[in-house]
Every structure is written in structure tokens, then in C-alpha cells.
Amino acid sequence: MNTIAKDIRLGRILISDGAWGTYLYEKGLLPGECPELWNLDRPDDVLDIARSYIDAGSDVIETNSFGANAFKLKSYGLEAKVKDINIAAAAISRKAAGQGKRVLGSMGPTGKIMMMGDVTTEELYNAFREQAISLREGGADALVIETMSDLDEAVIAVRACKENTSAEVICTMTFEKTADDAFHSMMGITPAQMTTGLIEAGVDIIGANCGTGIKNMIGIVKEIRTISADIPVLIHANAGAPIYQDGKTVFPETPLQMAGYLDVLIDAGANIIGGCCGTTPEHIRVIADLIKKRYQLT
């Protein structure tokens, strides 16, 4: 099989998956419970999520390993299980994907802030290396570092993946729109700064995830394209900006509303499209149908 980047350079638009976190809560994950422990304790439920995205038409799916780094797992007393949890996460998605679709091993931020002296570069690097190697061992084709807001942490994660595995490495950051219509991560990084920094670090694919909906992703992709015309771009948008309603967080955008922005997003330069918080297999089904009809003619 081609690499993902090669497929994109051949002109393909690829469909990714939707939310994992919000889906796990729907399946009964309790607040305060470790989502990634489900890979060991409730593998069938995790497999069910992975399968539902493959059935919806995803070309690539993620793994239930977003918070499965040593720092995050330590807060549940599970730091000794990093390897087992990541291997299981990748194996579950591999089982759902079969040999024809690709598995992206999900890696989120550690929650430690380097600027505050919480953690050293070496400690971060080692945590990402351990997670990356375990995800590959479980069968992940590529690694996706996501929801990053600190460029320094993102660069360390990319290096840890590139230097210790042969996997393609994807890295996406989360941006908010500011009052002056610009985009910044929580730590003040712009999409242009991300693009320069991550390409220098050797990333294969970049992009944005989470945030306040697919419409804002258009401006983010345009800004990425001012720095690089050819780096493949992945977008995982939330189903709109979260609203707090009747005691819980709701993501209001329907599948059709999201799909309404696809042409402009692809025109701006996005190559892989899926969803983040609040998106469901139904969102992915509608997006996949449209992409297959208009962009995957061969």
C-alpha cells in the first residue's frame, strides 16, 4: 500500500473518522474514568466504535489512545500499563480496519507545561517515544499527534515518533479564532508558525483538530497554504462550537451542516477530512458519501 502522503500527492481526498471521546461517554464511560483502560477492560465496546467508522466509509481510523502517555496514565495510577494499553488500542483498530484501511495511532498532549518547568524535554521525548513504539507494535500504520497547543511539545512529539519508528507522522494543533479574525492556539501559536515549525521537525502531514467547528477550519487551511503548497493537510473538526445545555455539553452541527463546508475546505487545500468532538458515524457517512461522489472518482 502507498503511504498516506503518496496517496494525497496522487490527488486523492481521504476520509478520516469521527469522535472517540464523546462516543465513549455515550457508551457509558463515567466522568473520572480512564477512557484508554477500556482497551483492556471493554475491548468489544472500543472495537464497536472503530467498526462503526469503517462501516461509515472512513479510509483511515484512529485508536483509543489519546491520553495513553505515561503522564496522563499516571493520574489514574496506570503508568505501568502504557505499553499494554497502546498495543491493545492499536490492535483493536487494526482488527476493525483489516488490511485495506489505515490505522492512525492517536497521541494527545501530556498535560505538562514545559514553560512552567513542569517537565524536561527529555521526559516528554521519552513518554512520546514509549507511546509511539507501543502503538506501532500493536499495528498502527501512522501516528497522529493531536490537540496540541504548545509548538515545542508538538515538535518533541514529532521527533520522538520520527526518530524511533518508521511510521508516517501526522501532527495537528487546535486553534481558536481571535477577535481580529486571526487564529491562535491556546499557547499563542498561529497556523503559519505551526507549519514552519513542524515541517522543520520532519512531520509528514499537518493540520488542525477540535476547535469551534468546520467553518473556521477554512481560514486555518488557507493560512497553512501560505507557508506550504504541498504538505498534506488533515482536518478533524468538531461538530460546531460546544454549547452547555441542560447540564451537559452539546455539539450542535448536523452531518449536513458540516458537509456543506466540504467543497470550500477542500478547495482551500485540505486533503484528509474527518471529525473531532461531537461528530458521529452519521457525520462521517454523509461526509464520506459526498467525498466519494465528487472526489474519489477512480
- The site for Zn ion (CB under 5 A) is made up of 210, 238, 276-277
Report, in Å, the least distance between residue 22 CB and Zn ion: 8
Residue whose CB is less far from Zn ion, 57 or 275:
275
In this structure, which amino acid lies at residue 69?
A: N
| Bridge partners of residue 176, in order along the sequence | 184
Report, in Å, the least distance between residue 52 CB and Zn ion: 18
Residue whose CB is less far from Zn ion, 105 or 213:
213
Residue whose CB is less far from Zn ion, 54 or 214:
214
Residue whose CB is less far from Zn ion, 167 or 208:
208
Q: What whole-number distance in Å separates Cα of residue 45 and Cα of residue 35?
A: 11
**What is the full DSSP assignment across 269-284?**
T--EEEE-TT--HHHH
Residue 245: other Cβ atoms inside 10 A: 9
Residue whose CB is less far from Zn ion, 194 or 276:
276
Is 184 buried (19+), middle (13-18) or exposed (0-12) by CB count in 10 A? middle
Report, in Å, the least distance between residue 32 CB and Zn ion: 19
Instruction: Quote the cell numbers at residue 50.
Output: 472503530
Report, in Å, the least distance between residue 185 CB and Zn ion: 14
Report, in Å, the least distance between residue 172 CB and Zn ion: 10
Q: In what order do the strands lie in the sheet with 142-148?
A: 14-15, 272-275, 233-237, 205-210, 168-173, 142-148, 102-107, 60-62
